[in-house]
């Protein structure tokens, strides 16, 4: 049998606990905000290193969803380590072996289906997300003196690309690449056409949610950015100079700040995104509902609860928005907008559909049923890739 050239780490470390199952666990931090920890599935004992890392992420103002992802992936890694009887401080050989095993282990089939289904495997993109999260954890571990500099250095390869001019060697460009990575098959982003948008908006029960979906579709803002909007961020007139803003045309400002509904803008850089008149119209319709339904309305937030008496006037939470997307996707089953093939998350398609995030085209895409034809912006392959990665 051919021998592997990759040195496999030794499997008989003395102080390795056997087969503990670690899970990502939602916790309420002392400061009051939600966060995540990695705990033992049966005893709820904290994983010291992983939980310290998540604590560090919370301190560096990462969004709760980012922290959740950075809890789930190391949790899977530490669970695997126990059953493989390996020590995480060995670094790259252990991580690359984990990623390789992850690639060949099939995803568990959904419960309750008796018929035979082809086994499904994680995509290259998902495995790179695992590799990236675990690499970041190791970088933190090196800064915290939990692993040696040498072990940490193994996680990045330095590449020097030289150029030639005639017979002269030009100075090389130095770049760093992650050592543990997987080849990805690039898929074109799924586009949503005018008819699908029309029927999607038609299935949404109320004006507030219709405005939310239209805003996300037209501007490409993330759900956290949309739910974190305040009325002062909406400059929907053609001229906003009276509001001391020089940006021309109707637009919104996306800013990162602390919000009562814990919505967080992923990017810390503020930006403006132009909006179409259709979005403005939908906002005014929602505003009318808001004035009609709320007698007392001191909230500065754009998206507030109007339709439940108990929480009327409070900022809409992420979990409620997700429920709305699932409800809508149930009603409009079969539409491409609700295709759950990617991550199973209906927000994903909305988020990917429009321009307007940093590094992408800033012109609003007219895809609402206003009689204006959708403008095709295929973008360069590189731009498309960037949009997908974000």
* Footprint on this chain of Zn ion (rule: CB under 5 A): 235, 240, 245, 247
Nearer to Zn ion, 277 or 339 (CB): 277
Nearer to Zn ion, 9 or 249 (CB): 249
Nearer to Zn ion, 238 or 296 (CB): 238
DSSP secondary structure string, 106-147? PBPPPTT--S----B---HHHHHHHHHHHHHHHHHHHHTTSS
Cα 387 to its chain centre, rounded Å, is 12
The least distance separating Zn ion from the CB of residue 254, rounded to whole angstroms, comes to: 11
Nearer to Zn ion, 245 or 294 (CB): 245
Of 268, 303, 309, the closest CA to residue 286 belongs to 303
In whole angstroms, how far apart are CA 119 and each of 108, 186, 188, 242? 8, 21, 23, 60
Nearer to Zn ion, 240 or 365 (CB): 240
In whole angstroms, how far apart are CA 127 and each of 50, 272, 381? 19, 33, 22
The least distance separating Zn ion from the CB of residue 215, rounded to whole angstroms, comes to: 15
The least distance separating Zn ion from the CB of residue 248, rounded to whole angstroms, comes to: 9
**Residue 101 and residue 277: Cα distance in Å, rounded?**
51
**Residue 333 and residue 277: Cα distance in Å, rounded?**
28
The least distance separating Zn ion from the CB of residue 243, rounded to whole angstroms, comes to: 6
**Residue 384 and residue 217: Cα distance in Å, rounded?**
16
The least distance separating Zn ion from the CB of residue 272, rounded to whole angstroms, comes to: 6
DSSP secondary structure string, 222-256? -HHHHHT-BGGGEE-SSB-GGGT---BSSEEEE--
The least distance separating Zn ion from the CB of residue 359, rounded to whole angstroms, comes to: 20
- Integer Rg of the chain from CA: 24
Nearer to Zn ion, 50 or 275 (CB): 275
Cβ-closest position to Zn ion: 245
């Amino acid at each position: 049998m051919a021998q592997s050239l990759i040195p496999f780490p030794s499997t008989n470390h003395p102080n390795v606990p056997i087969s503990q199952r670690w899970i990502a666990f939602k916790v309420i931090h002392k400061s009051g905000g939600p966060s995540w920890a990695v705990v033992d599935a049966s005893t709820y004992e904290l994983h010291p290193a992983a939980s310290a890392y998540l604590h560090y992420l919370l301190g560096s103002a990462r969004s709760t969803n980012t922290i959740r992802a950075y809890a789930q992936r190391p949790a899977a890694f530490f669970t695997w380590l126990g059953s493989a009887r390996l020590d995480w401080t060995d670094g790259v050989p252990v991580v690359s072996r984990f990623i390789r095993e992850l690639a060949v282990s099939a995803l568990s089939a959904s419960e309750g289906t008796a018929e035979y289904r082809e086994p499904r495997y994680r995509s290259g993109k998902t495995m790179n997300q695992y590799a990236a999260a675990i690499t970041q954890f190791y970088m933190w571990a090196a800064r915290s003196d939990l692993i040696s500099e040498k072990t940490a250095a193994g996680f990045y390869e330095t590449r020097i690309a030289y150029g030639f001019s005639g017979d002269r060697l030009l100075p090389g460009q130095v770049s760093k690449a992650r050592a543990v990575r997987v080849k990805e098959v690039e898929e074109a982003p799924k586009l949503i056409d005018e008819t699908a948008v029309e029927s999607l908006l038609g299935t949404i029960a109320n004006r507030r949610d219709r405005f939310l979906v239209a805003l996300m579709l037209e501007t490409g803002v993330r759900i956290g950015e949309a739910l974190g909007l305040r009325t002062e961020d909406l400059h929907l007139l053609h001229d906003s100079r009276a509001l001391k803003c020089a940006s021309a045309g109707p637009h919104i400002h996306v800013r990162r700040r602390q919000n009562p509904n814990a919505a967080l803008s992923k990017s810390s850089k503020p930006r403006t995104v132009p909006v179409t008149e259709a979005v403005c119209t939908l906002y005014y319709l929602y505003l009318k509902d808001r004035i009609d339904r709320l007698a007392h309305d001191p909230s500065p937030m754009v998206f507030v609860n109007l339709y439940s008496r108990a929480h009327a006037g409070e900022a809409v939470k992420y979990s409620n928005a997700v429920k709305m997307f699932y409800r809508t996707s149930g009603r409009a089953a079969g539409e491409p907008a609700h295709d759950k093939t990617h991550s199973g998350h209906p927000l994903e398609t909305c988020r990917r559909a429009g321009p307007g995030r940093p590094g992408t085209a800033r012109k609003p895409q007219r895809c609402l049923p206003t009689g204006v034809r959708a403008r095709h912006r295929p973008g360069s392959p590189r731009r498309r890739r960037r949009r997908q990665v974000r």
